[in-house]
Amino acid sequence: MSNRWWRAFVASTDNRTGGGSGAKAAKRAFVALAIFVLLAGLVFWLDPSRFYLWVKAVHIMAVISWMAGMFYLPRLFIYHCDAEAGSVQSETFKVMEQRLLRIIMNPAMTIAWVLGVWMAWESDLWSDGWFIVKFVGVLAMSGAHGLLAKGVRLFGEDRNPYTARQWRMINEIPTVLMIVIVVMVIVRPF
């Protein structure tokens, strides 16, 4: 049964990315995730008292990966605006954008959310003022992620919704939100 699931997953990845080269990347990502889950289980089994710190470390790594994609994807859109629809360059940008979103950004955002919510629940932070502002910032960052995901879909259909200048302005949204979120977590002004 797992082989049937894997073949369907690879086929859908190949269809989305325009060829068979995505199968190797998908397999590597799946193997890396499986190894990570096994190592996380081993760490918890060996020293459960440090589990929260390991969760926090993975949460930070996921946030860094997510932010890297949030900063890079709009740059790809800016360059994609200059490529003629249907050209080899445009098709290359489509593959790059889709892979960045599906292989890096979506999993990183999901991991950051799941672990972040678990840590907030474990630490009972829901009523702290700084946490509420941070949480609203993360919700806004997720909305920006959705806007970029829509951009990937529309560029994939050769329907660019914005100019290069507008994408440059949109590129600043994650930066401003990141500043607010980091200040809330580190400084905790209220």
Give the tens place of pLDDT for each residue, 51-92. 899 899 999 999 999 999 999 999 999 999 999 999 999 999
Q: Over 60: is that where the pLDDT of 137 sits?
A: yes
Higher-pLDDT residue of 147 and 45 is 147
From 170, 109, 108, 106, select the one nearest 138 (Cα to Cα): 109
Beta carbons of 119 and 52 less than 8 angstroms apart: yes
pLDDT at site 5:
52
Q: Over 60: is that where the pLDDT of 19 sits?
A: no
Exposure on the CB side of residue 174, measured as CA atoms within 13 A: 21
pLDDT at site 11:
55
pLDDT at site 1:
47
pLDDT at site 20:
56
Percent of the chain with pLDDT over 70: 88
The rounded radius of gyration (Å) of the Cα atoms in the chain is 19
pLDDT at site 32:
82
Confidence of residue 21 (pLDDT cuts 50, 70, 90): low
- What's the rounded mean pLDDT across residues 163-179? 97
pLDDT at site 100:
97
CA of residue 41 relative to chain centroid, distance: 23
From 141, 13, 147, select the one nearest 74 (Cα to Cα): 147
Q: What does the pLDDT look like over 102-130, one tens digit per residue?
A: 999 999 999 999 999 999 999 999 999 99
d(CA 154, CA 148): 10
Residue 101 burial by Cβ neighbours in a 10 Å radius (0-12, 13-18, 19+): buried
pLDDT at site 142:
98
Q: Over 60: is that where the pLDDT of 17 sits?
A: no
